[in-house]
Amino acid sequence: MAHQDPIARLVSQLARLPGIGEKTANRLAFHIIKEPAAFAQELSEALLGVKERIGLCTTCCNLTETDPCWICQSEKRDSSVICVVEGTPDLMAIERTGEFMGRYHVLHGVLRPLEGVGPDEIRVRELVQRLSKPEQGVREVIVATNPNTDGETTALYIARLLRPFEVKVTRIASGIPIGGDLEYTDRVTLGRALLGRREI
């Protein structure tokens, strides 16, 4: 099977996916071959559909089929609070908690100065533009980037950038995960948990 036959082609295409090595790609390919044709057909349509029909919401930059996205459209959401996230998966994670009824802003990345990812590569300008319109009535911006170096840098950058506006900029809490164990918590997290202590 030296020539690029359809099986080898499918294997090499699957192996381009992140975290899928050649062995897994092989296993997946032979599974797809074994399944009825509808399986490959449906997966193929889903692949094309996602690229054809998904774009960015012009308000919050979320990935969406409609513009504005369903969250920006919803009358039930509180427009005075904007939660800033790195990507749509983070937005979906917050939605799953059911704890947040405000709106979002999706950055599509974080600042990575060492890798040359600056403010122009992520959607911060759109956030500033959004806050520039006083009719939006935004009171609070919650920065929910990940609690790692790049996420913290981005949070500080956003806080500084929004200083001219009359909004409160907050950061999600870091600490010991629920169900976690003090004994096995790394010292940075434990330190943060102490600093972020709250009255009960």
User: Is 57 among the residues that bind a second copy (CB under 8 A)?
Assistant: no
CB of 14 to a second copy, least distance (A): 7
Strands (E) across the chain are located at 55-56, 63-64, 78-85, 102-106, 140-143, 168-171
Compare residues 3 and 187 and give the one whose CB is closer to a second copy.
3
**Of the listed pieces 10-18, 117-125, 129-137, 172-180, which binds a second copy according to CB under 8 A?**
10-18
Q: Specify the amino acid at residue 165.
A: F
Pairing of strands 55-56, 63-64: antiparallel
CB of 89 to a second copy, least distance (A): 6
CB of 35 to a second copy, least distance (A): 9
Contacts with a second copy: how many residues (CB under 8 A)? 49
Pairwise CA distance, residues 171 & 151, whole Å? 11
- Both tokens of residue 194? 């102490």
User: Is 101 among the residues that bind a second copy (CB under 8 A)?
Assistant: no
User: Is 44 among the residues that bind a second copy (CB under 8 A)?
Assistant: yes
**Of the listed pieces 8-16, 74-82, 98-106, 159-167, which binds a second copy according to CB under 8 A?**
8-16
For residue 68, is the peptide bond before it cis, meaning its omega torsion is within 30 degrees of 0? yes
In the numeric block, the tokens 């929004």 are attached to 162
CB of 32 to a second copy, least distance (A): 6
Q: What is the DSSP string of 152-180?
A: HHHHHHHHHHTTTSS-EEEE----PPTT-
CB of 98 to a second copy, least distance (A): 12
- Both tokens of residue 198? 């709250």
Q: Which residues contact residue 58 at a Cβ distance below 8 angstroms, ignoring those fewer than 6 apart?
A: 67, 68
CB of 163 to a second copy, least distance (A): 31
Compare residues 82 and 91 and give the one whose CB is closer to a second copy.
91
Binding site for a second copy (CB under 8 A): 1, 5-7, 9-10, 12-14, 16-20, 24, 26-33, 37, 39-54, 63-65, 70, 87-89, 92, 95
